[in-house]
Amino acid sequence: MHRVAQTWTIEDVVTLNPPDSPQHTSFLDRLLEFGATSPDLLLECAVDLETRHGPFVAAFGQLPFDLGLGAIKVDAPGDRSGSTVELWLRPVRMSIDSFGRLKSLDSSDEDSRGRTTITQLVGIIRLGDKRERVHPLYVARLRNLKTLNEQLGSHMVENWMRLPEVSQGEPSRRRRPLTGFDFQRDVAARMRDHLITATRALLNAYSVSALINVRKRSYLYGYHAMLAPGRIVGAGVPIPILNGLVEPAPSPEPVSSSLRDIKDTVGSAIRADDPFIRRLQALHALCTDDEPELALIGICTALEWFLNQKFRDLSTTKRNGEVRTGSIHTFLQSRHSNVLQPETIKLLRELVLTRNDATHGAPPTQRHTRLSVSYARQTLGLALNTYRQINLSSAENAPYLKQ
């Protein structure tokens, strides 16, 4: 995102987000109080929205753990076909006092001892055609916030988004037109759907690349949206991130979490619930439990299952009708191995030899050396890389990529 310009101050944002009444604090103050956002982030996004062409909205949310990817940007799918969310992730460190209250929110790289690291999400989303036509009318009302409870434009402009009339005197087919408040609630809720879809796509890609299933922890805390530079609105009551930290969610220990792997997986729609991916995730747990030999044998078995599912001609049928499935060695000797990179083929050959030693034992003249957990993890990465190269070799050879 862009650097914060001097033309925007936190006082400008506060002016655009006053309290509903003198007796209540503003929605912005509540968000800042429980750490859903920070002044620096708000100013940065206000400048970013101002410099873009077209009506863009920034949607904010938080995850109660750190993926360990640093500050990155990923283009992820939105809730509508063909829509894209420019998804920003940033690790943020939270300081909590002895009473469980938030003391500070810091995205710098300073000493993080005694702090809890969470992930701050920002999704930049372009409004669709219908909301795009109404958005300028809404922005014009921000010059005088008291006019937000009035009708936006003419009936013809917002007829597509009218809400049910509450008055019993009105015919049932009549609808009242939108006010500024109606419009901002509708847009905030719609952008929440886009941000949730994009976040799930990201966590699905991470689950595939890291072989750790983090999708069940995809709830967005502290959700809110910036509908115009500096104007903050919600879609329901945002849940503080502190609620998500009640049950510890430690950072995962992935096999591979490179940004390139995750970007490739987001775009290729490889599912974390694919049978082969589920097998590798289960074998990753064996590595975590310090059982590298069992994990290694299981990885080879899973690979052979996948290869025989993918290439049916690797299997042979005996005269008695018994089907003998092909091994990794059989695959490497076949024409199908041409889709793999030379380095991958070399590592697979080494894997076969290591698996045979682990299964049958090393020759009597050699002392058996126990496999290391790190080698088993590398083998998991090799299996995942083999899976990717085969499935992404051509569109017609990618049945496992289809949703």
**Does 216 share its domain with 332?**
no
**Does 204 share its domain with 90?**
yes
**Does 210 share its domain with 318?**
no
**Does 291 share its domain with 391?**
yes
Residue 117 in this model has a pLDDT that exceeds 90: no
Alpha carbon distance 270, 284 (integer Å): 18
Q: What is the pLDDT of residues 191-223, one digit of tens each?
A: 999 999 999 999 999 998 888 888 777 789 999
What pairing do the DSSP bridges indicate for beta strands 84-96 and 116-126? Answer: antiparallel
Q: Could you tell me the two tokens for 392?
A: 């992404």
Q: Could you tell me the two tokens for 383?
A: 């299996």
What pairing do the DSSP bridges indicate for beta strands 221-228 and 163-164? Answer: unpaired
**Does 114 share its domain with 210?**
yes
Rounded (to 5) percent helix, strand, coil in the chain: 45, 15, 35
Sign of the alpha-carbon dihedral angle for 341, 387, 282, 253: positive
Cβ distance 269 to 402 under 8 Å? Answer: yes
H or E segment at 96?
strand 84-96
**Does 346 share its domain with 211?**
no
Q: Number of folded domains in the chain?
A: 2
In a domain, 67, yes or no: yes
Alpha carbon distance 92, 82 (integer Å): 31
Residue of 138 and 358 predicted with greater confidence: 138
H or E segment at 316?
strand 316-317
In a domain, 161, yes or no: no
> Quick one: what percent of the chain has pLDDT higher than 90?
37
Choose the most confident range, by mean pLDDT, from 120-129, 234-243, 259-268, 386-395. 120-129
> Quick one: what percent of the chain has pLDDT higher than 70?
79
Burial 101-113 (b: 16+ CB within 10 A, else e): ebeebbeeeeeee
Q: What is the pLDDT of residues 127-172, one digit of tens each?
A: 988 888 889 989 999 999 998 988 886 655 455 554 444 444 444 4
Quote the pLDDT of residue 217.
74
**Does 244 share its domain with 371?**
no
**Does 233 share its domain with 125?**
yes
**Does 371 share its domain with 285?**
yes
pLDDT band at 175 (very low <50, low <70, confident <90, very high): low
Q: Where are the beta strands (DSSP E) in 107-206?
A: 116-126, 163-164, 175-176
Choice among 74-88, 122-136, 317-331, 387-401 with the minimum mean pLDDT: 387-401
CA angle 254, 120, 45 (to 5 degrees): 140
Alpha carbon distances (Å) from 305 to 154, 163, 279: 63, 54, 10
Alpha carbon distance 324, 314 (integer Å): 9
3-state secondary structure string across 139-163: HHHCCCHHHHHCECCCHHHHHHHCE
In a domain, 257, yes or no: no
In a domain, 83, yes or no: yes
Write out the residue range of the structural domain in which residue 301 sits. Answer: 274-401
Domain boundary among 252, 282, 313: 252
Choice among 122-136, 243-257, 277-291, 317-331 with the minimum mean pLDDT: 243-257
Amino acid letter, 238: P
In a domain, 258, yes or no: no
List Cβ neighbours of 97 (8 Å cut-off, separation of 6 or more).
103
Secondary structure (3-state) at 90: strand
In a domain, 165, yes or no: no
Alpha carbon distances (Å) from 194 to 4, 9, 118, 203: 26, 28, 21, 14
Q: Could you tell me the two tokens for 122?
A: 């920002």
Choice among 3-7, 61-65, 144-148 with the minimum mean pLDDT: 3-7
Residue 49 in this model has a pLDDT that exceeds 70: yes
H or E segment at 59?
strand 56-63
CB-CB neighbours of 98 under 10 Å: 5
**Helix-then-strand count for the chain, H and E:** 13, 11
In a domain, 152, yes or no: no
Residue of 360 and 316 predicted with greater confidence: 316
Query: 1: closest CA among 132, 80, 95, 107?
Result: 107
**Does 304 share its domain with 353?**
yes
**Does 239 share its domain with 362?**
no
Query: 58: closest CA among 198, 162, 179?
Result: 198
In a domain, 135, yes or no: no
Alpha carbon distance 135, 228 (integer Å): 9
Q: Taking the model in full, what pTM does it have?
A: 0.74
Q: Could you tell me the two tokens for 98?
A: 């002895």
**Does 90 share its domain with 239?**
yes
CATH of the domain at 313: 1.20.120
Alpha carbon distance 144, 162 (integer Å): 23
Quote the pLDDT of residue 364.
47
